[in-house]
Structure 1
Amino acid sequence: MKFLIDTNIVIQLEDDGEIKADFADLLRRCQEHGIHVFVHEASIEDINRHGNETRRKATLSKLNKFRQLKGVSSPTLDELKARYGDIPKPNDVVDAKLLHAVSISAADFLITEDDRLHRRAKRASLAERVMTVADALAWLKQSFEPDTVFLPAVKEVKAHAIDFQDPIFEALRSDYGPYFDKWTGKCINEHRDCWIVKDGDALAAVVIRKDERRAEAAITKPGEKILKICTFVSEDYRGQKLGEQLLKQIFWHAQRNSYDVVYLTAKAKQVSLIRLLEEYGFEKTGDLADGDGVFEKAMGKGKLSLSTGETAITAARKNYPRFYDGPKVDKFVIPIKPAYHAKLFPEVGMLAEEVATTRGAIPGNTIRKVYVCHSRNNRIAAGDVIFFYQTKKPGSPRSQSVTSIGIVENVRHTNLVDEVRRWTAKRSVFSDDELQSWVNGSSPLKVIDFLLIGHVVPPLPLNLLRSDGVVGGAPQSITRISENSYQRLKPLLNLGFDF
C-alpha cells in the first residue's frame, strides 16, 4: 500500500502541535506496517520554483526523507481541468496531478489537510481515496491494530455534569474569551441537555442542545420548532468519526421529535466539520458579528418523493434520516452472522428495550458504513433499501431478527485485496487480516457502501416476518422482497418518523 502525502502537511502545518504529533505517529506506523510514503515529483517541482532560496532549501531538506513518485503519466491541462476543476494557479495544477495519481492507483491514498483538495476530490468522486492525517492514522489502527479500536456510546447528561475546564474546550475558550465562561455558566444554570462520548474517564466529544424560539434563533428557514446545537470533539480523537456519530444522534433526535430546523454556528477554520455538515444537507445561510457562519438543516416530515433528476441516494443524503422508499427502488434482506453484526452495528448490542424506547437515549454510531460478502445477487443497486437480518445465535435477543435499515450508496466487485482496502478504508470496521481472508480468486467480493438509517426497536423476529409474508424462511443470502411484502413490513419498523 502507498500513501501520497501533500507537502503542505510537512511544510505549512509543521507548527500545529496536534497535527505534527499525529503526522509523526502516522509515519512511524506506516513504517511498522509496510506502508510506503511518497511525495509527488510535481510538488518538488513546485517548491523548486520558489523565489526565496533559503526557504526553498529548507523545504526540500524536510522532504528528502520521502521517496518521490516519479514519471506518472499526466493528462493535458485541459483534461486535468475537465476532471478535477479549475486550475488557474501552478499549485492548483499540482493538486490536480496529486488527485490524478490516486485516480490511476499510482498511490492508494492521498493524505492532506487542505480543505480545497478534499472538496476537489469530492467533485471528482475521489473522496474515499483522500484522507486527513487523523483519518489515515485511524485507518492504520483499525486495519493492523484492531485491539485499539475505540467503539464509544453516546450518553445523555445535563450540562452541570460536564467539567468545562476539560481540555476539550480549550480552543473554544481561546476563540471566545470571557464570553465562553459566561455561556457555559448559563448552560449549567439552565440545566441544558447534552450528549457526551467518553473513552474511559476521558471526555471525547460533547453536544450541547437547546430548544429555541423563532424570535431568538438566527435562522432563515421556516418553522417554529427549532433545535440549536453546539458541538465539541477532542483533538485527541481526530479521525474517530465522532463528529459523524454525534451528527447521527442529532438527526435521530430531531426527526423523532418533529423539529422543523436544526442549526449551529461554526468558524471558517472548522473545515472538516463544515464538509460533514454540507454532506448531510446543512446549508450556510448567514454570518454573525463574531465571524461565525450559520448552518441550517430543514427537517422534513412525511413521505419523501424524488424531484426531477434527483436520485434516491442523493435524496437520502440531503434529507437524512428520511429516505425515498417508493417503487423506483428495490428492497432487500441481507443476512449477517452475529460476530460480524456485532462489529458492524456495535451500538445494537448496547440497546436494551427499556433504554431504546426512552427519548434521546439511543446510542449512536457512524452514518456511512460498508458491508462485504460473496453474494451473487447482481440486482442490488444504489438507492435500494436494505434490511440487515442477524442470523441464529442462541440466547441473543436479536437471533434471527431484522435489526437495522440502510440505503445503498454503491455496489462494487473485486478479487483484489488492494481494491478492497481502497474502497473500504474510510468506512470499514474490519481488520486487514479479515479483509484479506475474504478475498479469493474463485468468487468476487461484493462491497456495499450504505448509509445507516436506523435500528428497528424492537427487532423483528423471523416468525413475525414469516407470518406477515415478508419472507418465506430464514434468509440465506441477499434476498429481494416484493413491493407488497415491503408494504406489510413498513408499519412494523418503528423508526420514530413518517416515511
Structure 2
Amino acid sequence: MKFLIDTNVVIQLENDGEIQAKFAELLRRCHENGVQVFVHEASIEDINRDPKEARRKATLSKLDKFPQLKKIPTPSLDDLKAKYGELPKPNDVVDVKLLHAVSIAVADFLITEDDGIHRRAKRASVADRVMTVADALVWLKQSFEPDTIFLPAVEDAKAHELDFNDPIFEGLRSDYGSYFDTWTTKCVNEHRDCWIIKDGDALAAVVIRKDETRSEAGIVKPGKKILKICTFKVSEDYRGQKLGEQLLKQIFWHAQRNKYDVIYVTAKAKQATLIRLLEEYGFEKTGDLDGGDGRFEKSVGKGKVSLEKGETPIAAARKNYPRFHDGAKAKKFVIPILPSYHAKLFPEVEMLPEDVATTAGAIPGNTIRKVYICRSPNRTIAAGDVIFFYQTKKKGSPRSQSMTSIGVVENVRHTLDADELRRWTAKRSVFSDAELQAMVAGSSPLKVIDFLLIGHIVPPLPLTALTSASVLASWPQSITKIAEPRYLKLKPLINLGFDF
C-alpha cells in the first residue's frame, strides 16, 4: 500500500526541530507495516515557488526524505477544472495533481490536512481516497493492530459531571479566554444536558446541548422547537475514530424523536473537519457571528421524504438523515448476515443486554457510514435502495433468525483485487487487513456495499413475524428483493421513533 502525503503534512513533520507526535507516529506505523510513503513531484514545484530562500531550502530538505512520484501523465487543465473545480492559483493545480494521482491508483490514499483538497475530493467523488493524518493512523491501527481499537458508546451526562479542566476543553479555553469560565459556570448552574464518549477514564468526545427560543437563537430557518449544540468536541487523541459522526448521529436521533424543528451549532472556520461533516448531513451556513463563528442550521423534517426535482434517493437520505425516501424509486432488499459478521458490523447491538431486545422503540447505530462485503450474485441492488439486515440462526441469541437493522445504499462495487478492496473500504471497514485478504481468496467477485445506517429495529423482527405478515415466504438465503406490496406490510412493523 502507498500513501501520498501533501506538502502541508510534510512541513509539519518538524516544528523548530521537534518532531510532531502524530506525524511521527504515522511514519513509524507506515514503516512497521510496510506502507510506503511518497511525495509528488508537483509538491517540489510548489515549494520552489517560495520566494523566501531559507524557508524554501528547509522545506525541500524535509521533502528529500521521501521518494517522489514522477512523470504521471496529467489531464489537460480544462479537464482538471471540469472534474475538480476552478484552479485560480498554481497551488490549486498542484492540489488536483495529487488528487489525480490517487484517482488513477498511482497511490492508494492521499494524506492531507487541507480542507480545500478534501472538498475538491468530494466534488470529484474520490473522498474515500483522501484521509487526514488522524484517519490514516486509525486505518493503520485497525488494519494491522485490530485489538487496539475500542468500542465507543455515547452516555448521557450533566454539565456538572464534567471536569472543565480536562485537556479536551483546552482549545475552547484558548478561543474564548475569560468568558470560558463564565460560560462553564452557566452550564453547570443550569444542569445542561450532555452526551459524552469515554475510553476508560479518558473523555474522548463531548456534546453540550440546550433548548432555546427563537429570540435566544436568532436563527433563520422556521420553527419553534430549537436545539442548540453549545459544544461539539472530539479529543485530539481520538481524531479519526468517527466519534464526531457518532455524536452527530446521536443529535439527529434525539431531535427527530423529540420533534424539534431546527438544530443549530456555531463553528469557527478552523474547525474544517466538523464543518465538512455538518454540511454532509444537511446543515447550511446561515450567518456569521461576532468573534468569527459561523452559524450552521438544519431543519428537522417530519413525515414522508419526497424527492425534489432531479434529486436521488441517496441524496435525500443524506440531507434528511435519519429520515429516508422509501417510495417506488427506492427498491427494498433483505440481506442475510451471519452472526459473527453481524457482531463485527453492528457491535453496538451486541453490547446491549438481552432484555433490551424486548423493549419498544429503536436504537441508532454507532456510526452512520458503513460497508458490507459479500459474494451475492445479485446485480440489481443500487444507490438509494433500502436494505434490511437479517441475522441468521444463532443459538441463544435474541436476534437469531430476525430482521435487526436498516440502511440506505450509497454505492455498490465489485472486485477480486485485495488492494482495491482496501482502498474502497478503508474509511468504513471494521475488518483487519488479514481479514480483507482472506475475503478475496475466492473465484467469484466480492460485492462491496457502502451504506448509511438508518438504525436498528427494537425489538428485532423474528422470522415467524415476517412470514406471518407475508413479508417473507421463508428465511432468506441470499440478498432478496422485497416487492413493494410486501414492503407495505413490513413498514407498520418497524418502530424507528419517527414517521417515514
Q: CA RMSD in A?
A: 1.9
Aligned residues: 499
Residue identity opposite 1:135 in structure 2: D
Number of the residue aligned with 1:99? 99
Cα separation, 1, equivalents of 2:13 and 2:282: 30
Cα separation, 2, equivalents of 1:433 and 1:268: 39
Instruction: Report how far residue 356 of structure 1 moved.
Output: 8.1
Instruction: Report how far residue 264 of structure 1 moved.
Output: 0.7
Tell me whether 1:481 sits opposite 2:474 in the alignment. Answer: no
Number of the residue aligned with 1:266? 267
TM-aligned CA distance change 1:491 to 1:399, over 3 Å:
same
Cα separation, 1, equivalents of 2:414 and 2:449: 9
Tell me whether 1:207 sits opposite 2:207 in the alignment. Answer: yes
How far does the alpha carbon of each residue in 1:55-92 deviate from its partner, in whole angstroms, 9 at most, with x for none? 22111111111010011111122222222211121111
Q: Secondary structure at the match of 1:433?
A: helix
Residue identity opposite 1:6 in structure 2: D
Cα separation, 2, equivalents of 1:401 and 1:164: 44
How far does the alpha carbon of each residue in 1:433-466 deviate from its partner, in whole angstroms, 9 at most, with x for none? 1111111351000000000001101111111111
Cα separation, 1, equivalents of 2:19 and 2:380: 44
Q: Any residues of structure 2 matched to 1:6-21 within 5 Å, and which? A: 6-11=6-11, 14-15=14-15, 20-21=20-21
How far does the alpha carbon of each residue in 1:395-447 deviate from its partner, in whole angstroms, 9 at most, with x for none? 11111111110000000001101111110000001111111111135100000
Instruction: Report how far residue 320 of structure 1 moved.
Output: 0.4
Instruction: Report how far residue 163 of structure 1 moved.
Output: 1.1
Cα separation, 1, equivalents of 2:218 and 2:291: 13
Residue identity opposite 1:203 in structure 2: L
% identical aligned pairs: 78
Number of the residue aligned with 1:191? 191
Tell me whether 1:406 sits opposite 2:422 in the alignment. Answer: no
TM-aligned CA distance change 1:143 to 1:17, over 3 Å:
farther
Q: Secondary structure at the match of 1:203?
A: strand
How far does the alpha carbon of each residue in 1:353-395 deviate from its partner, in whole angstroms, 9 at most, with x for none? 7668999995651100000000000010000000011111111
Give structure 2 stretches of 5+ with no counterpart: none
Number of the residue aligned with 2:491? 490
Instruction: Report how far residue 19 of structure 1 moved.
Output: 9.8
Q: What TM-score, normalized to structure 1?
A: 0.97
Cα separation, 1, equivalents of 2:14 and 2:458: 48
Q: Any residues of structure 2 matched to 1:285-364 within 5 Å, and which? A: 285-352=286-353, 362=363, 364=365
TM-aligned CA distance change 1:17 to 1:184, over 3 Å:
farther
Answer yes or no: is the 8 Å Cα contact 1:353–1:457 preserved in 2. no
TM-aligned CA distance change 1:449 to 1:30, over 3 Å:
same
Cα separation, 2, equivalents of 1:353 and 1:164: 36
Number of the residue aligned with 1:442? 443
Cα separation, 2, equivalents of 1:176 and 1:7: 31
Number of the residue aligned with 1:390? 391
Cα separation, 1, equivalents of 2:264 and 2:75: 43
Residue identity opposite 2:68 in structure 1: Q
Q: What TM-score, normalized to structure 2?
A: 0.97
Instruction: Report how far residue 350 of structure 1 moved.
Output: 2.6
Number of the residue aligned with 1:367? 368
How far does the alpha carbon of each residue in 1:181-222 deviate from its partner, in whole angstroms, 9 at most, with x for none? 111111111111111100011100111111111221131100
Cα separation, 2, equivalents of 1:18 and 1:297: 42
Cα separation, 1, equivalents of 2:395 and 2:464: 15
Number of the residue aligned with 1:282? 283
TM-aligned CA distance change 1:16 to 1:411, over 3 Å:
farther
Residue identity opposite 1:402 in structure 2: M
How far does the alpha carbon of each residue in 1:1-47 deviate from its partner, in whole angstroms, 9 at most, with x for none? 11000011121575499993111101001011111100001111221
Answer yes or no: is the 8 Å Cα contact 1:218–1:294 preserved in 2. no
Q: Secondary structure at the match of 1:187?
A: helix
TM-aligned CA distance change 1:301 to 1:363, over 3 Å:
closer
